[in-house]
Amino acid sequence: MMKGFQNIKWQRYLNYVAIGLVLIIFSSLALAGGLPQSTVFKLEEIAISIILAVSLSLVVGFLGELSLGHAGFMCVGAYLGGKVSAILVEPLGNGILTLLISLAVGGLCAGLCGFIIGLPALRLKGDYLAITTLAFGEIVRTIFQNTSPESFGGAIGLATPRFNRKYFFIICFIMVLVTLAVIQNLIRSKHGRAITAIRDNEIAARATGVNVTRYKLTGFIVAAVFAGLAGVLFSYTQSNVSSATFDYNYSIEILVMVVLGGMGSINGSIIAATLITFLNKELATVLTGDLAVLKDLIYALILILIVIYNNSPKLAGFREKYNLKNLFARLTKNRFSKHDADDTKRWDVVPTKIKMDALLSTDFVVTEVKADKPKEEDHE
Amino acid sequence: MEFLITFVNGLSLGGIYAMIALGYTMVYGIAKMLNFAHGDIIMVGGYTILVFLAINPLVAIAAAVVFCMLMGIVIEKVAYKPLRGASPLAVLITAIGISYLLQSIAQMAFGSAPKFVVIADLGTLRIGGIAIGYSTIITLACSVVIMIGLNLFVKFSRTGRAMIAVSEDKGAAQLMGINVNNIIMVTFAIGSALAALAGLFFLLKAPTINPTFGSLPGIKAFTAAVIGGIGSIPGAMVGGLLLGLIECFAQSVPAIAPYTDAIEFSILIVLLLVKPTGLLGKKRREKV
């Protein structure tokens, strides 16, 4: 029992350790001077993608709502944070103070936008949040595109001051750790359990006294704030912030990361974000011109296939039989995965999912017999 | 004078939006899903016209309507039917995937550069100081005819009444002997045919097409459907016409013209805050 308990703790901090290790390895390489410029840029981009994917994962995977305007929140952060840094770079210099102030401004403004958008949309059930966030992304883009050249640069884009980017990826990765700390702790807290309860059964959650609108709004605003922070970091990595970057397709790309990583899995989002950002960079050199769309085609197919495979009621039996966890259990003869039988060990599967059908059905003796059958076959 | 021209243009654009919004609202009412790929069906229709234009414009239009109908049915059978009964989020993400897929395929096939599709030069009607394109008038007339026809179809034909029954209570409709799968298929086919016609009218307005041709009109028409009350057929018509008028009048004022899209979407957000069911939508009570 005690051993199992320690095991949980170790698993919980695995992703911090992994990202910390990556950070230490690359920063020591950078200090030794052995890191090419292109790798530094790639690392920055990966870190920004991870922040975006993890924050969207909170909304899509844990809250169960679809947000299609994540790039819009990032846009708000990038423009406002970039503007603040452009103003502050004269009096304060391009040090850590400028960065912190612009991060605070960008994050807060994005959070405020999240509040304004979330308030009407999250009170409603259904797909309203998806369409409202989509509309929000378009509104933000239109507004920044048509600003005067003196304020936000208009169609040319906002020029941001140039910073020394040699070690900037370290700051990006520290932000990744901050994001993880906030979002993971939120999900593991009682508030997080309320959020997942809403996802699993809104009516049941409401009946047990969960303030649905408040929790939905909280989750959504937290995600918006981190998208804004990612935007500020993005503005630091660019010499020119252009509104065309934050289009609908960018929001979809972040969504692909979340879906590919697995809904409701933070670690999955991290891995998928790293993978997709890396592949994007690599493929950009291979696929040029109209061939570049091949990448989008593959993303679309992945998105459709994964969602249908994971959610189709008709494939439920197939999934049960051939999922990775069961295969692993079979290969190792249940040596490692015996404890996994109850969800309590895995923090990302918060045990709120009450199988109402199983509880309510009068013939659950029959279903139990059915469930036992495959086991007997295994013994044979 | 100026006002009248803007008004007619607005009505004509609104007619197109209403046609697309009808597709959204019917699918939403019957399959209870938001078909994000609907806007891209417009684009598919446009490219079909481009391909068949060499033969004959009328053949091209017919081909576009038929091809889009088939496309709608295939998408429903392959992507949405396996997910019936799954969580709405999964269906929504699949729809987005389909939209993305259609755009990518179009870009692979036709390239990302805009292509010219000149269907016919219809000329301009001049009465006194007013000059209105014949295409605008044809669009307006067609959309009015289609809307009236669709209303009659839904109200009086057997299939149409079955559609209303399915949208009100799927289970009860099935018990009454309605084949729900067929009704959903018919809905997708009608919606896609309307989208193809919308593509035609957009090409008559401005004869260029690119792979993202349908996405912005699609989103706007969805806005129209929500403004009118999603799930309501008259609501989609009212919402579409309203949105078209708003767009044309906003564009006629130079000071706010660049912000037209932002204004339209802001109306959506404000409306959701004030009257979430839309102008003509009915409030539904949720049962446990």
- Taking only the tens place, the pLDDT of each residue in B77-92 is 999 999 888 888 888 8
Report the percent of chain A where pLDDT is more than 90.
27
Name the least confident of A66-75, A114-123, A190-199. A114-123
Query: Which range, A34-43, A314-323, B148-157, has the best average confidence (pLDDT)?
Result: B148-157
- Taking only the tens place, the pLDDT of each residue in A237-275 is 888 888 888 888 889 889 989 988 888 889 999 999 999
Q: What is the mean pLDDT of chain A?
A: 80
Joined together, the tokens standing for residue B286 give 């949720």
Cα–Cα distances (Å) from B142 to A99, B85, B138, B146, B186, in that order, read: 57, 37, 6, 6, 21
Rounded to whole angstroms, the Cα distance separating B237 from B144 reads 10
Rounded to whole angstroms, the Cα distance separating B114 from A263 reads 37
B65 pLDDT more than 90 = yes
Query: Which range, A2-6, A317-321, B256-260, has the best average confidence (pLDDT)?
Result: B256-260
What is the structure's pLDDT at A380? 39
Q: Name the pLDDT band for A377 (thresholds 50, 70, 90).
A: very low
Select from A308, A310, A314, A360 the residue whose CB has the most chain B CBs within 10 Å, as the one to mutate to test that interface. Answer: A308
Give B-chain residues touching A288 at CB under 8 angstroms: none
Domains of chain A: 2-311 (1.10.3470), 315-379 (no CATH)
Cβ–Cβ below 8 Å for A303 and B268: no
Taking the alpha carbons at both ends of chain A, their separation in whole angstroms is 31
Give B-chain residues touching A149 at CB under 8 angstroms: none
> CB-based contact (8 Å) between A160 and chain B?
no
Select from B93, B98, B212 the residue whose CB has the most chain A CBs within 10 Å, as the one to mutate to test that interface. Answer: B93
DSSP string over A83-134: HHHHHHHHHH-SSHHHHHHHHHHHHHHHHHHHHHHHHHHHTS-STHHHHHHH
Q: Name the pLDDT band for A284 (thresholds 50, 70, 90).
A: confident
Residue with token string 């991290």: A270
What is the structure's pLDDT at A1? 46
Superfamily of domain B2-274: ABC transporter involved in vitamin B12 uptake, BtuC (1.10.3470.10)
A7 pLDDT more than 90 = no
Q: Name the pLDDT band for B11 (thresholds 50, 70, 90).
A: very high
> CB-based contact (8 Å) between A32 and chain B?
no
Rounded to whole angstroms, the Cα distance separating A202 from A195 reads 10
CA B127 to chain CA centroid, nearest Å: 31
CB < 8 Å from B in window 319-378 of A: none
Chain B residue with the nearest C-alpha to that of A259: B93
Rounded to whole angstroms, the Cα distance separating B84 from B33 reads 10
Cα–Cα distances (Å) from A171 to A44, A100, B52, B70, B259, in that order, read: 9, 11, 56, 52, 36
Rounded to whole angstroms, the Cα distance separating A293 from B109 reads 10
Q: Amino acid identity, residue A72?
A: G
What is the structure's pLDDT at A347? 47
A281 pLDDT more than 80 = yes
Q: Name the pLDDT band for B285 (thresholds 50, 70, 90).
A: low
Q: Name the pLDDT band for A35 (thresholds 50, 70, 90).
A: confident
Give A-chain residues touching B262 at CB under 8 angstroms: 138-139, 142-143
Rounded to whole angstroms, the Cα distance separating A8 from B40 reads 47
Give B-chain residues touching A314 at CB under 8 angstroms: 82
- Taking only the tens place, the pLDDT of each residue in B251-279 is 988 888 888 888 988 888 888 888 878 88
**ipTM of the predicted assembly exceeds 0.85:** no
For residues B142-161, average pLDDT: 92
> CB-based contact (8 Å) between A139 and chain B?
yes
pTM, 2 dp: 0.82
Three-state SS string across A225-291, please?
HHHHHHHHHHHHHCCEECHHHHCHHHHHHHHHHHHHHCCCCHHHHHHHHHHHHHHHHHHHHHCCHHH
Cβ contacts from A onto B, under 8 A: 133
What is the structure's pLDDT at A343? 46
Spatial CA neighbour of A185 closest among A372, A12, A360:
A12
B234 pLDDT more than 80 = yes
Select from B38, B104, B215, B284 the residue whose CB has the most chain A CBs within 10 Å, as the one to mutate to test that interface. Answer: B104
Chain B residue with the nearest C-alpha to that of A298: B101
Rounded to whole angstroms, the Cα distance separating B103 from B209 reads 12
Residue with token string 């806005």: B223
Give A-chain residues touching B94 at CB under 8 angstroms: 303-304, 307-308
Rounded to whole angstroms, the Cα distance separating B266 from B261 reads 8
Q: Name the pLDDT band for B284 (thresholds 50, 70, 90).
A: low
- Taking only the tens place, the pLDDT of each residue in B195-227 is 999 999 999 888 899 988 888 899 899 889 988
What is the structure's pLDDT at A5? 52
CB < 8 Å from B in window 255-314 of A: 255, 259, 290, 293-294, 296-297, 299-301, 303-304, 307-308, 310-314
What is the structure's pLDDT at A9? 64
A362 pLDDT more than 50 = no
Rounded to whole angstroms, the Cα distance separating B256 from B279 reads 25
B243 pLDDT more than 70 = yes
Rounded to whole angstroms, the Cα distance separating A142 from A137 reads 9
A146 min Cα distance to partner chain B (Å): 7
Cα–Cα distances (Å) from B44 to A166, A177, A246, A315, in that order, read: 47, 44, 25, 31
Instruction: Considering only the C-alpha atoms of chain B, give the largest distance between any 2 of them, rounded to a whole number of Å.
Output: 63
Locate the domains of chain B by residue range.
2-274
A93 min Cα distance to partner chain B (Å): 36
For residues A322-348, average pLDDT: 58
A11 min Cα distance to partner chain B (Å): 29
